[in-house]
C-alpha cells in the first residue's frame, strides 16, 4: 500500500470491494478473533493511505448497524496495545452510524433485558465509549474525537447530552496536569473533541 501514498486516489475504484471483503470477515460471527483483528488492521492500512474521510462513507450505516457496532466497540479491551487498529476502525464506523437521521432514543425500545436488569440507553452508551477513548494513548483517541464531533452535534443528542459532555470535558481538563503523561493525553483527547 505504501506505493499509493503519493497518489491515494488510485485506490478509489478498489475501495468498495476491498472494504466489503474485509467487513464480511468482521461481521461473520464464526470468524476467529485473530482474523477479525487482522481484517481491521488491513482496513486501517487502507484508511491510512486514502484518508479516513473518504473511507468513512463506505462503512455500512443503517439503523441496525448502530447497536451492532456499539456492541463490538464495547467488547474491546482499551488497554490491549496489539488491537488498537480494531478500536480505531470501530470508533470511526460508529461515528458514521451516528449520522443516520433517526432519533437515537427510538433505538432504546425496551431497555429491560431480564427482570430486574436494565440496559443503558444508546446515547449514554455511545457517549460513555467516546469519553473513555478520549483519554487513551493510542490512535483510537483520534477516532473518539471524530465520533464525539459527529455524535454530540446531532439535534437529538445536542439537546440531551451536550451540557453533560461539556461538564465532563471541563472536569477532565481541570483535573489533568501538564506535568504527567496521563494528564497531557487526557487534555489532548478532550481538546480534540472540543
Give the per-residue pLDDT at 110.
54
**Cβ 40 vs Cβ 89: under 8 Å:** yes
**Cβ 113 vs Cβ 130: under 8 Å:** no
Contacts of 135 (CB under 8 A, 6+ apart): 141, 172, 182, 185, 186, 189, 190
Span 13-21, mean pLDDT? 86
Task: Indicate the range of 7-16, 142-151, 152-161, 175-184 predicted with least confidence.
Answer: 7-16
Task: Indicate the range of 1-5, 10-14, 51-55, 118-122 predicted with least confidence.
Answer: 1-5
Q: Which long-range contacts (CB under 8 A, 24 or more apart) does 74-83 make?
A: 74/125, 74/129, 78/132, 78/133, 78/136, 78/140, 81/138, 82/37, 83/37, 83/40
- pLDDT of 112 > 60? The answer is no
Average pLDDT of the chain, as a whole number: 88
**Entry pTM:** 0.89
- Residue from 46, 169, 149, 35 nearest 96 by CA: 149
Question: What's 76's DSSP letter?
Answer: S
d(CA 39, CA 37): 5
Amino acid at each position: 500500500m505504501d506505493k499509493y501514498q503519493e497518489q491515494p486516489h488510485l485506490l478509489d475504484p478498489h475501495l468498495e470491494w476491498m472494504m466489503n471483503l474485509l467487513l464480511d470477515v468482521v461481521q461473520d460471527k464464526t470468524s476467529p478473533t485473530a482474523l477479525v483483528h487482522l481484517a481491521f488492521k488491513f482496513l486501517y492500512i487502507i484508511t491510512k493511505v486514502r484518508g479516513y474521510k473518504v473511507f468513512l462513507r463506505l462503512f455500512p450505516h443503517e439503523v441496525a448497524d448502530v447497536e451492532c457496532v456499539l456492541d463490538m466497540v464495547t467488547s474491546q479491551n482499551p488497554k490491549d496495545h496489539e488491537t488498537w487498529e480494531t478500536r480505531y476502525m470501530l470508533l470511526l464506523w460508529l461515528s458514521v452510524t451516528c449520522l443516520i437521521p433517526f432519533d437515537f432514543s427510538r433505538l432504546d425500545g425496551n431497555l429491560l433485558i431480564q427482570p430486574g436488569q436494565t440496559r443503558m440507553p444508546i446515547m449514554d452508551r455511545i457517549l460513555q465509549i467516546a469519553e473513555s477513548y478520549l483519554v487513551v494513548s493510542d490512535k483510537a483517541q483520534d477516532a473518539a474525537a471524530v465520533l464525539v464531533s459527529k455524535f454530540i452535534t446531532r439535534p437529538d443528542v445536542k439537546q440531551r447530552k451536550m451540557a453533560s459532555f461539556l461538564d465532563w470535558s471541563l472536569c477532565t481538563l481541570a483535573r489533568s496536569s501538564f506535568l504527567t503523561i496521563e494528564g497531557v493525553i487526557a487534555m489532548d483527547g478532550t481538546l480534540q473533541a472540543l
